[in-house]
Structure 1
Amino acid sequence: MYGLLLAVGVSCQTQKGVSTQTDEAPAQKKTQDDTKPYNEVITAEATSDEGLFTTHFVADKLYFEIPLEMLEKDMLLVSRIAGVPTGFGGGYINAGSKANEQVVRWSKRGNHIDMKVISFENESEEGSPIYQSVAANNFFPILFSSKIAAYNDERTSAVIEVSDLFKEEVTAINGVSPELRKRYKVKKLDKSRSYIESANAFPENIEVKHVMTYEAEEPPERDQAGTITMMMNQSMILLPEEQMQPRLADHRVGWFTTRKYDYNSDELKSDDYRIINRWQLVPKDIEAYKRGELVEPVEPIVWYIDPATPEKWRPYFRQGIEDWNVAFEAAGFKNAVIAKDPPSKEEDPDFSPEDVRYSVVRYVASTTRNAMGPSVTDPRTGEIIESDIIWYHNHLRSYRNRYMIEAGAQKPSARTLNTPEAEIGEMMRMVIAHEVGHALGLPHNMKASAAYPTDSLRSAKFTQKYGLTPSIMDYARVNYVAQPGDEEVRYIRMMGPYDLYAINWGYRYIPEADSPQEEKPILSQWILEKAGDPVYEFGNGYGGIDPQSQRESLGDDQVKASKYGLANLKKVVPNLVEWTSKDNTDYSELTEVYRELTYMWRGYVSHVVANVGGVYETRKTADQEGIVYTPVPEEKQKSAVAFLNEHAFTTPEWLLDRELLERIEATGAIERVQSLQSRALNDLLDEGRLQRMISNEQVNGNKVYTAVEMMNDLRKGIFEELYRSQKVDAYRRNIQRAYVDAAAEYVQNLKKEENNDVTSTDIIALMRGDLEQLRRDLRARRNRTNDQLSVYHWNDLIARINTALSVDA
């Protein structure tokens, strides 16, 4: 049966902040089962909190009073990082980051209570022949065990001390991964500086915060005195007794999923499948829903606005949340998503963002420049139970800077550090909508933006109707394609047709289907109805193979889009000093914006690089006609290399604005450009990319852009001064050295003793041949320029090539 949540009844003797015994309580003798009398364990000094369990603090000890009826119940233990030191994880791990998530059960074993980790990944029908084997080969580990210290007077609940669960180093719930332990050379947990900060009980969850201090030889920052101190938040959440009917995932529609293995499958192996993560929405009036009427759900999805949210931003947050109602209307629901202001103390004195019954958009006063849309999911069914979306205050800064950089050439309102409220508010609204999308179960769809023709993004009529991309779940934050003079164009992303399609696919109630298997042909048919339309395609952007599936990319032609973006950057740079300067302030804002502008230039270049050796992916199943993978056409690849030679590997004079640079640094421009160009070159000469080009030539014959052609085109572009007998400047000398060193690195692989896959490919032959050709050209042409330093440079490159090719000697 699927349906209602379990109604929890807890037998407890305490209230929040009230001790459990009076000072006059008489001393009791030790009980026959080796436990102590209740009042000797939970003394008059105890600070208690009543909820799913009752938590008791007695001095520095933490006790759980666990109702016996809660034993063997499935609970989700979610471990999050609540506070981190500066620079932890390279700045990519923030407060709110999830460290682990696992299902646990509390079980009684004699005079002990064990907490076992339960897995629902491997499944088998109870009573089937293989069931016993599945159970025996998936024995549940014990995460924590504690002797029962006492029972309550009615013996309906057991008291155990749980201090060591949070004060000792328990790998399954800490926030320092093995990789980070190695990076920071963590030695051990210092128990004297580790403690439990708080424990709060709510009707359906327990929240414990604890501080952990590690001794580390190389902590993230030098001033951390050889220690890493962090705060963890452990959430223990009761899972529903009545389980929702799961929905089987399909890789053609993007969803966060939970993996399962079915050992009762008729296949000659365990059946590996996934279910999607989604909230449970059931129509109040199923008959009206069947007739196609919009119907409210029995339980809508509600987010509360954090009381800490500034008043002026609350309307934008509410809009970003409730924007999703348009998508849910496509799925047959009205008022499915509701945004609420936080209740006052008078309205709800017990309201807390920590209570799992409430989902909250949290506003965090932090220098972190990010937003997150995490959720808590029942791994048995994929049901999303709760979500706390996080907005970090300084994320405003990210959008202010990006707006100036990518829209400043076109929009006067973007040429300021004080972005107008309506425009920054619209950006915040769409960020919240994006994060709500994650919390509803949708991952990034980086392929969406490639559905729109690049030049359509310069059209006011098109962008105002369709936005910048078919999905808010794409990274397409600002319209950098639009050019000065393109009037009334939309610059900020918005929800699109893919979002409505995905929500309908995942949330539409299918009353005629009594199982996930009965839903499957219906769901597949909905996909087939949209097949062939790029607006409804999905790609997560991972792997770097498909150039149509990239973060921050706009339009279906990456070369054209990057040319437009670069043209705008060239107009922005000469104005940055004026746009970022304030009286009586230094140039730190200018430094920050200029640095981020260089990152965006690097992004435009990487969008183009992905076309070389790229492969388009169109997700299909075996019942669909056509192939899944198609190489990028030859002309598009050649166009990409031509763009790189012209715009990425030439000296970026436009970026080296003297009026700007002399305000922010004494030196560093050469190194910065060298880093940007070398990164692009190494990406272009990536082993996987070259191997795809070689394999593609073998499969598709001569109708492809070959690796040899690419190297020839690249060499002629990077060494243009050699072939034109011209002087070489410092920036070009750097990229030419990087070219020789990259090719030489491949050849030098032959000297390495360890097994290396590249030695068994054609890549070394390709690089050896290219270096030999370059050496011949250098020898023949090196003295045709009158610049002595250029001649020295050519000679140096010959020497480097000689060293690289001497591996056979």
Structure 2
Amino acid sequence: MKEKAFLHNLITFCIFLLLLSPLTVQSQKKKKDRKEEATEIKKDTTDSKKGKKYDDLVKKGSVKKGLFNIIQVKTDVYFEIQDSLFKREFLVVNKLSQVPFQVNEAGLNKGMNYENKIISFYKDTIAKKVWVKSYVPKVSSPKEDAITQSVQNNFAESIIEVFDIETKNNDSSAVIIKVNKIFDGKQKSFNDVLSSIGFGGSVKSDLSYIESLKSFPKNIVVKSQLTTSISEGGPALSVTLGVTSNIILLDKAPMKPRFSDNRIGFFTEKHWYFADAQQAMLEKELITRWRLEPKKEDEERYLKGELVEPKKPIVYYIDPSTPKQWRKYIIDGVRDWQAAFEKAGFKNAVIAKEPTEKDLDFDIDDVRYSVITYAASPKSNAMGPSVVDPRSGEIIEADIIWWHNVMTSLQSWMRIQTGPIDPKARGNKFSDEHMGEAIRFVSSHEVGHTFGLKHNMGSSFAYDVESLRSKEFTAKMGGTAPSIMDYARYNYVAQPEDNVTVITPKIGEYDKYAIEWGYRWYSPNDNETTKLNAIIAKHQDDPIYFYGEQQENIIDPRSQSEDLGNDAVKASEYGLKNLKRVVDNILSWTYEKDQSYYETGKLYIGTIGQWQMYNRHVMNNIGGVYLNTTVHGDNKQSYIPVPAAMQKRATDYLAKNVITIPQWLFFNDILDKTNPLKDSPLGPYEYTPYTLSRELQYSIMYDLFSDDRLLRMTENELYQRNKTKDPVFTVNDLFKKMHQSVFAGTIANKSLSILERMTQKNYVDVLVVSTNKLFEKTDAKKALDIQQTLNMPHLCNYLDYAHMARNINQSSLKRVTEVTSDKKGELNKILQLLKTKKSTGDQSTQNHYRDLIQRIEKALNNTTF
């Protein structure tokens, strides 16, 4: 009975469930519908709030449409970033746009580009953030290779900034972020101006603000006023910098790179290549160049050899603040490059112009415009850097900085180097036409840098010295060297009787050759490398097309700055003849009634600086090595010691013109009126002739007997005598010649003059410094500092330290080389001579000998190894 009752109840319950089921499902459905309805209502409310917030921002502020729409509400700045721009690559370019006195005086000026970086924006919908990441775009690998995953993990992006997503636009195709902090100095992520210019410290945000904003289809421009404080031994000073940040959208596909060849001088970007098939990573360098291509419809004509206009020419704008009388010459200096680009197949490839009313958006700080910026500054210089896409080497924009006082350097060069042969170059002030032609040359040189060309310091070696005295040759070749990228200034070799008139550097054959190699366009089907090698092979045996890398320490005497011709001794001897003419006329050339002798003293010290420059040109042949960039199959020798005969002539020149101090240069009628003058922050600084001649002579001697130079001579002796029977100029030969010259009066038992005693003291002290580190800490540094104070003026005097001439290690373990023995041997030889002659000559000479004996004995006794 119990079992039947249980069964009956179970059946009844099941029937009840069956009857209840539709109601339950229906009820659950209603509940779900109500929940979804609530969700929709909530979503609609959120969207409504979102839309309202976006509309409120737009309504309250102003909107600038462009790459990012910029919304500005009072002092708050928002970027509206389209979804399509996330994960794209941008280049941040930061420039100085305004500087105060303190910064100007430090050599920093408007237009200087101080910091660039690649960034990408990433949207995080979960965290409601926008992340900004940056990376170094110098590593590549094929997408399909297994190693690519490792490349991505080992060269990953870094997060440099994060923004909250404030809202979305009305169709949710873009997000809005507030960006004040990256432009008003609170964050350094996008713009670290103080560290970049060497100030350090931090920006005072309460004294800084965003000044203006612009947005264009492919870039935005934000200008800010950023303030910091500096203190150098006195009260803190506020310094406000005007800075401009450009954010540029880069092309998805970078320009096809062109790989460098060390036989031609282009600036480069290093790049690493990884691939599965490799046995080692491949490192290459991409040359920096503009994207110069024929229009699609002109490609066949171009490949047939016809001149065509490029799809996009290179355009330079002249800063409106440039004085009107110089604008024409600066523009002409740019246009002079047309002939070089025609060699590469393009006509009208380079344009220079002043901005007009048609250039409505022109802004000197906008990276869409390459500008020759004129800087009001006491600095005497000019330089031509570029903004480069580091992924490919493509030059995006160029910034030539032209300092107002560059004309002081030009005037100094022309007066000293060409005054004897050109009456127009003698006065305290030149005509606008004469100065204009000099400005034109500088314009061409600096613009050459913005095409990617480096200095070619070896170009001037191509011309025979005697050819520079030929009116016909100089007129035909058009300048002082085959490249305007050399520091081959004005023709100081030509003599008055030569009647040479073409004396200014011009764009030459090397420049045209380099532009053709760097800019000739090839179709995708061409083997570009083969064609480029063919261009080099065609010219490799002609010295006109030689490229000589700029050197920090001169090893190859062919590649020096400010020199002319293929024989430094002969060129310098001609230069000295003209220098004597300058000295004879300094007082008359600088005469101005009722004016001080300031101009006289300035021209005088410049003349002495030119003499010292000739000395160095000659000296660097001693122990010099010709460094040739060679490749397999060219049958060239990579290292060629300077011929022994040339080294002997160079030593004789120094003995005649440095060991014997030139009286006509240091002791003349000019000293009745003024000493040589050098400008300083405290005013003109006077150098007395005895002090100046002593310190400059010491500087040459110190460098002449530097360990590195003597080690190169030892290396050459070791190698040459084992390989060839050619004469060798040895360290002993150098010491013998110098010893005979320095101690000629002593050997002849004569009483020595003040200058002769000075020379002997300098010689002994140089050798003592090399064997006694205690002295080296003082005197050696002093000599080098003195040399820096008298350097002739330079242009764009920056060195590309990453790409200097080849580094050759000849300096390790100097204490166990022949150099130490040779120097100590010379000191002992001098000591023995002085001991035998110590009682000869007058009282001053004998005092001098005893002094030297004590110095040498002390140095030799105190030397430890």
Q: TM-score, normalised by structure 1?
A: 0.88
Within 5 A, what are the aligned runs for 1:400-419? 400-419=411-430
Partners of 1:234 and 1:174 in 2: CA distance: 11
What letter is aligned with 1:538?
A: Y
Residues 282 and 509 in structure 1, CA contact (< 8 A), matched pair in contact too: yes
Per the TM alignment, residue 102 of structure 1 is displaced from its structure 2 partner at its CA by: 2.2
Partners of 1:90 and 1:270 in 2: CA distance: 46
Residues 33 and 111 in structure 1, CA contact (< 8 A), matched pair in contact too: no
Say whether 1:203 aligns with 2:203: no
Q: Which residue of 1 aligns with 2:540?
A: 531
Residues 31 and 37 in structure 1, CA contact (< 8 A), matched pair in contact too: no
Per the TM alignment, residue 362 of structure 1 is displaced from its structure 2 partner at its CA by: 2.3
Q: 1:580 to 1:229 in 2, by over 3 A?
A: farther
Partners of 1:306 and 1:179 in 2: CA distance: 23
Per the TM alignment, residue 168 of structure 1 is displaced from its structure 2 partner at its CA by: 4.1
Per the TM alignment, residue 500 of structure 1 is displaced from its structure 2 partner at its CA by: 1.0
Within 5 A, what are the aligned runs for 1:244-255? 244-255=255-266
Q: 1:51 to 1:171 in 2, by over 3 A?
A: closer
Residues 375 and 386 in structure 1, CA contact (< 8 A), matched pair in contact too: yes
Within 5 A, what are the aligned runs for 1:736-775? 736-749=760-773, 757-775=813-831
Q: Which residue of 1 aligns with 2:17?
A: none
What letter is aligned with 1:101?
A: N
Residues 195 and 201 in structure 2, CA contact (< 8 A), matched pair in contact too: no
Q: SS in structure 2 opposite 1:396?
A: helix
Partners of 2:234 and 2:688 in 1: CA distance: 26
Q: 1:520 aligns with which of 529, 533, 545?
A: 529
Q: Which residue of 2 aligns with 1:427?
A: 438
Q: SS in structure 2 opposite 1:409?
A: coil
Within 5 A, what are the aligned runs for 1:789-804? 789-804=844-859
Within 5 A, what are the aligned runs for 1:493-508? 493-508=505-520
Alignment deviations for residues 451-508 of structure 1 (CA, whole Å, 9 cap, x no partner): 0101111111111111210011111121111112110331101011111111111111
Q: Which residue of 2 aligns with 1:447?
A: 458
Say whether 1:149 aligns with 2:166: yes
Residues 308 and 345 in structure 2, CA contact (< 8 A), matched pair in contact too: yes
Q: 1:245 to 1:597 in 2, by over 3 A?
A: same
Q: SS in structure 1 opposite 2:709?
A: helix
Say whether 1:307 aligns with 2:363: no
Farther-moved stretch of structure 1 (355-364 vs 429-438): 355-364
How many residues in Structure 1 have an aligned counterpart in Structure 2? 767
Residues 83 and 95 in structure 1, CA contact (< 8 A), matched pair in contact too: yes
Partners of 1:38 and 1:722 in 2: CA distance: 94
Partners of 1:478 and 1:256 in 2: CA distance: 26
Q: 1:678 aligns with which of 690, 693, 698?
A: 698
Alignment deviations for residues 553-584 of structure 1 (CA, whole Å, 9 cap, x no partner): 11011111111112211211232222223234
Within 5 A, what are the aligned runs for 1:143-182? 143-155=160-172, 156-164=174-182, 166-168=184-186, 170=188, 173-175=191-193, 180=198
Residues 824 and 860 in structure 2, CA contact (< 8 A), matched pair in contact too: yes
Q: 2:748 aligns with which of 724, 740, 748?
A: 724
What letter is aligned with 1:159?
A: I
Q: Which residue of 2 aligns with 1:123?
A: 140
What letter is aligned with 1:252?
A: R
Q: 1:237 to 1:598 in 2, by over 3 A?
A: farther
Alignment deviations for residues 30-62 of structure 1 (CA, whole Å, 9 cap, x no partner): 989999934676783x56644333445555555
- Superposition RMSD in Å: 3.1
Per the TM alignment, residue 311 of structure 1 is displaced from its structure 2 partner at its CA by: 2.8
Per the TM alignment, residue 85 of structure 1 is displaced from its structure 2 partner at its CA by: 6.4
What letter is aligned with 2:516?
A: N
Per the TM alignment, residue 324 of structure 1 is displaced from its structure 2 partner at its CA by: 1.0
Q: 1:137 aligns with which of 132, 136, 154?
A: 154
Query: Which structure has the larger Rg over C-alpha atoms?
Result: 2
Q: 1:353 to 1:745 in 2, by over 3 A?
A: same
Q: Which residue of 1 aligns with 2:66?
A: 51
Q: 1:38 to 1:367 in 2, by over 3 A?
A: farther
Q: 1:174 to 1:712 in 2, by over 3 A?
A: farther
Q: 1:359 to 1:651 in 2, by over 3 A?
A: same
Partners of 2:70 and 2:579 in 1: CA distance: 58
What letter is aligned with 1:161?
A: V
Per the TM alignment, residue 189 of structure 1 is displaced from its structure 2 partner at its CA by: 5.1
Farther-moved stretch of structure 1 (390-399 vs 49-58): 49-58
Q: Which residue of 1 aligns with 2:681?
A: none
What letter is aligned with 1:107?
A: Y
Farther-moved stretch of structure 1 (645-654 vs 438-447): 645-654
Residues 150 and 160 in structure 1, CA contact (< 8 A), matched pair in contact too: no
What letter is aligned with 1:207?
A: V
Alignment deviations for residues 722-768 of structure 1 (CA, whole Å, 9 cap, x no partner): 23334444444444333222212222249999x98322322221111
Residues 95 and 365 in structure 2, CA contact (< 8 A), matched pair in contact too: no
Partners of 1:366 and 1:178 in 2: CA distance: 21
Within 5 A, what are the aligned runs for 1:545-556? 545-556=555-566
Farther-moved stretch of structure 1 (257-266 vs 648-657): 648-657
Q: 1:642 to 1:280 in 2, by over 3 A?
A: same
Partners of 2:434 and 2:228 in 1: CA distance: 44
Alignment deviations for residues 93-144 of structure 1 (CA, whole Å, 9 cap, x no partner): 5544443332221222332223222222111111211001111111112222
Say whether 1:689 aligns with 2:744: no
Q: 1:81 to 1:358 in 2, by over 3 A?
A: closer
Q: 2:655 aligns with which of 640, 645, 662?
A: 645
Per the TM alignment, residue 212 of structure 1 is displaced from its structure 2 partner at its CA by: 4.8
Say whether 1:287 aligns with 2:293: no
Per the TM alignment, residue 166 of structure 1 is displaced from its structure 2 partner at its CA by: 5.0
Q: Which residue of 1 aligns with 2:491?
A: 479
Partners of 2:88 and 2:106 in 1: CA distance: 38
Per the TM alignment, residue 618 of structure 1 is displaced from its structure 2 partner at its CA by: 1.9
Q: 1:107 aligns with which of 122, 134, 154?
A: 122
Q: SS in structure 2 opposite 1:333?
A: coil
Per the TM alignment, residue 187 of structure 1 is displaced from its structure 2 partner at its CA by: 5.9
Q: 1:208 to 1:677 in 2, by over 3 A?
A: farther
Q: Which residue of 2 aligns with 1:9?
A: none
Farther-moved stretch of structure 1 (80-89 vs 443-452): 80-89
Structure 2 runs not aligned, ≥5 long = 1-43, 676-685, 778-810
Q: 1:332 to 1:63 in 2, by over 3 A?
A: same
Say whether 1:72 aligns with 2:128: no
Q: Which residue of 2 aligns with 1:490?
A: 502
Q: TM-score, normalised by structure 2?
A: 0.82
Per the TM alignment, residue 174 of structure 1 is displaced from its structure 2 partner at its CA by: 3.4
What letter is aligned with 1:683?
A: D
Partners of 1:171 and 1:776 in 2: CA distance: 68
Partners of 1:508 and 1:416 in 2: CA distance: 45
Q: Which residue of 1 aligns with 2:21?
A: none
Q: 1:457 aligns with which of 443, 452, 468?
A: 468
Per the TM alignment, residue 175 of structure 1 is displaced from its structure 2 partner at its CA by: 4.7
Per the TM alignment, residue 635 of structure 1 is displaced from its structure 2 partner at its CA by: 1.0
Within 5 A, what are the aligned runs for 1:14-413? 37-38=53-54, 44=60, 46=61, 49-55=64-70, 61-82=76-97, 94-109=109-124, 110-155=127-172, 156-164=174-182, 166-168=184-186, 170=188, 173-175=191-193, 180=198, 190-216=204-230, 218=232, 225=236, 230-264=241-275, 266-284=277-295, 285-344=298-357, 347-413=358-424
Q: 1:37 to 1:293 in 2, by over 3 A?
A: same
Farther-moved stretch of structure 1 (628-637 vs 648-657): 648-657
Alignment deviations for residues 195-219 of structure 1 (CA, whole Å, 9 cap, x no partner): 545444333323344455555553x
Farther-moved stretch of structure 1 (677-686 vs 744-753): 744-753
Q: SS in structure 2 opposite 1:549?
A: coil
Structure 1 runs not aligned, ≥5 long = 1-27
Partners of 1:85 and 1:713 in 2: CA distance: 55
Q: SS in structure 1 opposite 2:269?
A: strand
Residues 384 and 400 in structure 2, CA contact (< 8 A), matched pair in contact too: yes
Residues 163 and 177 in structure 2, CA contact (< 8 A), matched pair in contact too: no
Q: SS in structure 2 opposite 1:572?
A: helix
